[in-house]
Every structure is written in structure tokens, then in C-alpha cells.
Amino acid sequence: MMGIELPFLSAIVARLANPEINLGAYGGVVFPLSLLIEAPIIMLLTASTKLTRDLSSYRKLWKFTILSGGSLSALHLLVALTPIFDLIAGNLLGVEDDIIETSRLGMIIMTPWTLAIAHRRFNQGILIRFGQSKAVGWGTLVRLAADAIVLFTCFGLASTIESNSLGIIAATAAVSAGVIAEAAYAAWRVRPIIRNILPNIKSTEPPITRKGFLSFYIPLALSPLLGLAAQPVLTAGISRMPSPMESLAILPAVNGFTFLFRSVSLAFLEVVVSLIERPGGYLALRRFAWQAAIIVFGLQITIVATPLAGIWFGTISGLNPTLGNLATTTVWAAITLAATGFGSSFCQGLLVHSRKTRSITESVALFFVVIVFGLTVGAIGDWMTGAIFALMVYAVAQAAQFGWLFFRSHSDRQTHCKAK
């Protein structure tokens, strides 16, 4: 369901004033930087699912959640309000001046994002661990409802308010409102578990220590940090290749389309961590992974190779014919992302279960190296439209990451096969 958010947002912003600037600012600067800043707390969902086993562990992880989420939110605001933002967006990312000023406004509005994400993911991990994963789905509906209210309000105001920045305001206000609403819902749904279940659990495992937790979590946190660092690197590479403005403008629509399918594979990681211990869990999860990979790959081909692509990027996403054609071509470069994502999530789940989180960091480091090398080659060569080349590099990097995870999880797969 979360995969619906970005296409929905792009469709509204594309129909407001100054769409290329606002879509480029959100998809090329604000969203990648916000993701990068929040990266250290993304794996709280996995950590919470694995480690929140009694009231004591809950309190320790909750303290870490508030401290880390609050600190990163302060960092977000510092970046948005100081010359650091000009250094990053102008010098490092190389985006145009019009996009920089629009992006700054978006970054300021997105300030609540990181703390809300930390709060939400921590509580969602508890819900998953204690068999209430349906509440996570309902929380996504709450988030989408909040998104819709803000987006349609801004769309309705477009006829009375003349502002070239209304698009970025709509996008960032909607995303911020959505994650806050979802975090509040998750906190409400987790209360019965905290009040009635956790106090009555006597864990047989050793208590969580600071050293033990950090040795588990730091390698895990480095993984999304390196992975999401690739997003602004993509922006920097695209800005130095042919057609930078058009490429950045289609990023929200293209990322929205691919994430619609990738979101299922990303969520599969927590499913593996939660269910791998159950009898028959390994074989069932492995079978689901390759079957789901084939299905999502087939669905994407069905859309991209038919007139449905024009409907998606034109009628639904609201891109003009030129941008719509570029988006359709660009999606082909990212067609494998969802399929390889299932393999990566399956292998990562096995490694998290055995607490070999360092191997996950290694795989993401390889991913990042491939991204940097590939985009450097593309920027020097100046061969093709930036968005197309960048997503080709991204797909190759993700395939390399999956290959490393598959190699490093060999002993775990052998162990589970023997135990079946």
C-alpha cells in the first residue's frame, strides 16, 4: 500500500503550477536527502521485530528510538536552515538554482519526518513480532488518507492561490502529515501489547546490553545509510548527464512506479525475520520469494510493454507527452529491481536471524561502490539521458548486492535445508 503514495503524490504535483521544478525538487533533492538523514533509524523495524521480547528490552529500545530519532530530526532542520543545504544541493548535487530554492522550502516542511518514522517503525516491529501485522496494513491506510486530505486540499487551493511553490508544499506537507498520522496509529495499536503482554513475558535470553545492541544494530544501520546515500549520488550523476531537468522531473513518477512493486519485496525482510524459526518456514519463505519475483516481474513487463504505460505516466501520473515517453523508456532500465529485491530480502532475513549483520553492510557497500563507479563513467561519457543511465547503473548495483548476500548466506541456507 505504501507504494501507492509516491505515484499518487506525483500525479497531483504534476497537475499544479511549475511541475518540472517542483517534481525535480522533491524527487531529486528533498526526498533523497530526507531518506539519507533518516537512514540510521530505518532498520528499527527489523531490530524491534527481532529484539523486543519483554518489557526490559522494550524500554531500552524505546529510549534509543527517541534519542536517535530526535537527534536526526535536529540534523535535518540544521541542514535545511543553514548554508549546508546550498553546499549539498548546489555544489555536491549540482542542481539548478530554481530547484535549490524550491527544495529548501520542502526540506523545512519535511522536518517532522525522521522522528515520526523512528516512532512508527519501532512500534510496527512490536506489532509484527506479536502477530498483529494486519495493524501495519491499517496504519498504511491511515497514512494514505492523511496524504489524500493534504494533497486534495492543496489541489483545491490552486484555483485561488497563485504560487509556483504550491507543488512542493503539497508534496512535503502530505508526506509529513502521512507519517505522523501513521506513527500515531501504530502507537495506539501497540498499547495493549505494552500494557498486557510484555510485563508477563519472562525471556530466557540474556538481557540486551548497550554493547550487544550496538554490535547488532550498527552494521544493520549502516546498510540503509550506504544504500540511501545512493539516492543523492544519483541526483548528482543525473545533473551532470544529458537532459538533467527532464530526468529529475520524471524521477518521482518512475520511482513511484517501481516502488509500487518493490515495496512488497522490502517488507518481505521483516516477514523472513519473523517466520524463519517456525517449522517449515524456510521452504515456504524461499518458495514465496521466487514465485513473487516472477509475478512482479511479469506484471511490470505487462504494463511497460503495452499502452498501459502511456496511461500510467500520462493519464494517471499527469506527465506531459515528452516526459511521459521518457519515463516509459526509463522504467525499462529498472525493470529487475523488484524481482532481485525478493532475493535480497530473503538472504538478509537469514543473516539477521543468525545476527550476521556485518554481511549485510558488506553487500550494501558493494552496491554503493558500483553506483559511484557507474555514475562517474556515465557523467564522463555523456552517452545518454541521465535518468535512463542512472537507473541502469542502479539495477546492476542491486544485482551485485544480491549476489553478495546470496554468497554470504550460503551456510545459513545449508543449515535450514538440513533442518527441514
pTM over 0.75: no
Q: Which helix (H) or strand (E) segment is 382 a member of?
A: none
**pLDDT tens per residue across span 163-202:** 788 999 999 999 999 999 999 999 999 999 999 998 888 7
Give the pLDDT score at 3: 61
Take residue 38 and report the three cell numbers written for it.
533518516
Q: Does 111 or 384 have the greater pLDDT score?
A: 111
**pLDDT tens per residue across span 268-294:** 887 888 788 788 888 899 999 999 999
Q: Assign 9 to helix, strand or coil.
A: helix
Tell me: do 152 and 215 sit in the same domain: no
Tell me: do 102 and 219 sit in the same domain: no
Helices (H) and strands (E) counted in the chain, each on its own, are 19, 0
**pLDDT tens per residue across span 73-132:** 999 999 999 999 998 888 888 777 778 889 999 999 999 999 999 999 999 999 988 888
Average pLDDT over residues 46-59: 86
Tell me: do 179 and 220 sit in the same domain: no
Q: Which amino acid is at 197?
A: I
Q: How far apart are CA 378 and CA 173, in angstroms?
A: 34
Tell me: do 280 and 406 sit in the same domain: yes
Q: Which of 191, 208, 225 is the last residue of a domain?
A: 208
Q: How far apart are CA 158 and CA 136, in angstroms?
A: 33
Tell me: do 22 and 113 sit in the same domain: yes
The values of phi and psi at residue 266, to 5°, are -65, -40
Tell me: do 285 and 320 sit in the same domain: yes
Q: Residue 251: name the closest of 359, 198, 326 by CA.
A: 326
Tell me: do 230 and 186 sit in the same domain: no
Percentage, residues of the chain above pLDDT 90 = 38
- The count of domains in the chain is 2
Distance of CA 43 to the CA centre of its chain: 11
Tell me: do 26 and 112 sit in the same domain: yes
Residues 6+ apart with CB under 8 A from 63: none
Residues 6+ apart with CB under 8 A from 33: 79, 88, 89, 107, 232
Domain that holds residue 101: 1-208
Tell me: do 173 and 232 sit in the same domain: no
* Residue 70: other Cβ atoms inside 10 A: 13
Q: Does 380 or 231 have the greater pLDDT score?
A: 380
User: Among positive and negative, which fits the CA dihedral 115, 117, 122, 124?
Assistant: positive
Beta strands in 71-200 (DSSP E): none
Q: Which amino acid is at 388?
A: I
Tell me: do 155 and 289 sit in the same domain: no
Place of cell 491511515: 142
Tell me: do 31 and 83 sit in the same domain: yes
Q: Which of 168, 188, 208 is the last residue of a domain?
A: 208
Tell me: do 76 and 193 sit in the same domain: yes
Q: How far apart are CA 360 and CA 348, in angstroms?
A: 6
Take residue 137 and report the three cell numbers written for it.
496494513
Residues 347, 402 contacting (CB under 8 angstroms):
yes
Residues 6+ apart with CB under 8 A from 400: 366, 367, 370
Residues 6+ apart with CB under 8 A from 35: 228, 231
Q: Which of 208, 243, 259 is the last residue of a domain?
A: 208
Backbone torsion region of residue 201, taken as left when φ is above 0, otherwise alpha when ψ lies between -120 and 50, otherwise beta: beta
Place of cell 552496491: 367
Q: How far apart are CA 168 and CA 413, in angstroms?
A: 46
User: DSSP 3-state helix, strand, coil percentages of the chain (rounded to 5)?
Assistant: 85, 0, 15
